[in-house]
Structure 1
Amino acid sequence: MNAPATIFQPQHPTPGDGPVLTDEDRARAHHYALLGNLFFAAPEAPLLAALEASARVLGSGDTPFAAAWAVLGEIAAGSEAAAVHDEYDTLFYGIGRPDVMLFGSFYLAGFLMEEPLAELRDDLAELGLARRPGVAETEDHIAALAEVMRHLVLTGPDEAGLARQRRFFIRHLQPWYARLADALAAAPQARFYARAGALMRAFFDIESEAFAME
């Protein structure tokens, strides 16, 4: 369920033995991977089944995060993969302008390929990350940013790594993720993805609060 989308590749080799992660950081990396997968491509039937199963555990409680998991699990249980694929294409790759944009530059500057993307590319270069050859989506795609955060969580649980996570999240996700979630909630065609957007918002809200306390 948590196999990552592969939009980026490291430009520098990393040691074979990764850092020791806490259960919390493994869960964070898992959620970033999940969101990256859901917004990179429509889920197939096994992922829908995994979402339903995960929601039985993560959807218990009275927090916004648990509530978001509960409704995502419910919609996953009642959805056919083909219908979710059609929804994905309609929302994000429709004829003309898509119903919902998945790119940060659109929400930050009003257009695609604007200054926020250039600033993001500078930060990615500093982190040693580059877009893989053949990937059509620009680096400010929400799935790409989730993948970067997953990478930062997995490679940097120490104090310096947490600082990198905080800086990247605050610069490139925090200013616009709620607007994307609002757009998904308001889109008439969004059934599954309105719920995926609600989970994104709930998880990123937790991340925002945690980074604000550091």
Structure 2
Amino acid sequence: MHDIPDSRTEEADLRADIYALLAALLREPPSEALRQWLAGLEGEPDDIRLSQAWSRLAAAAADSDVERLERAHFRHLIGVIQGDVLPYASYYREGGLMEASLVALRRDLKALGIQRSADVSEPEDHLAAMCEVMAMLIGQNDQRAGSFFHRHLAPWASRCMHDLARVDTPFYAALGELATLFFQRESAILIDNTTLGTPVPGTSVHEDRGQALGAGE
């Protein structure tokens, strides 16, 4: 007999992959190989708005090149002093950097056994790092993914990506639109397990995963 694929597992794997892709594109500009891969993407017919967003990202990737995307990534997300968008939880939740939300995040990451990689300079509340955490949790079918999302991403991630969707570079505007829609859908899909009796990261016994944010594969 052949095993029948579990559609729920396939969907979870896809969502984990999307989180990993968002993390990669927010952290640094795409390589030529990734740009070409993005240019060949096709939207999924089950969600019209997300499908259109994927199509716009693919078209923008096809119409750009690595050098332009490197300049745009620096201008929009890094900057000489700061970029057009500051993708940090503390900034969107409290109006500054290194605020209380970062302290709470670090406590919860410690409970999950996740720490920042030694070669990563930005704080853990960078949206790329938090997308990496979600990719790990969903990929490992960790039931605390919903709690982590609602505690640390739901209050601000969509607003941040909505701001990115307003920049003047088509690729990053399309990325912002896609991420906004994806996070809105995740907010509806994921259940905050604090209401279901599952321990919230940082409040109970946990596994030591020993994983590092930003370390890559």
Normalised-by-shorter TM-score class: 0.7 to 0.9
Flag structure 1 segments of 5+ consecutive residues without an equivalent.
1-20
Moved over 6 A (4+): none
1:116 paired with 2:101, answer yes
Aligned mate of 1:200, from 129, 154, 179: 179
Give yes or no for the alignment of 1:182 onto 2:156: no
% of aligned pairs identical?
36
Q: Any stretches of 5+ residues in structure 2 without a counterpart?
A: 1-7, 194-217
The answer to which of 174-183 and 33-42 deviates more is: 174-183
CA distance in 2, matches of 1:34, 1:110: 27
Higher-helix-fraction structure: 1
Change in Cα spacing, 1:205 to 1:119, as seen in structure 2 (3 Å) is same
TM-superposed deviation, 1:213? 9.1
Aligned residue in 1 for 2:207: none
Deviation at 1:99, TM superposition (A): 1.3
TM-score, reference length from structure 2: 0.81
Give the alignment of 1:89-104 within 5 angstroms.
89-104=74-89
Which residue pairs with 2:196 in the alignment?
A: none
Measure, in 2, the Cα distance between the counterparts of 1:104 and 1:35: 16
Counterpart residue identity of residue 120, structure 1: L
* Alpha-carbon displacement from aligned partner over 1:103-160 (angstroms, at most 9, x marks no partner): 11100000000000000000000101000112101100111000000000122x2xxx
Equivalent of 1:151 in 128, 136, 143: 136
Out of 36, 40, 52, the position equivalent to 1:53 is 40
One-letter code aligned to 1:99: D
Q: 2:58 aligns with which of 70, 73, 76?
A: 73
Q: Is the 8 A contact 2:159 2:180 kept in 1?
A: no
Q: What's 1:172 paired with? A: 152
Matched, 1:42 2:33: no
Q: Identify if the C-alpha distance between structure 1 residues 147 and 62 changes in structure 2 by more than 3 Å, giving closer, same or farther.
A: closer
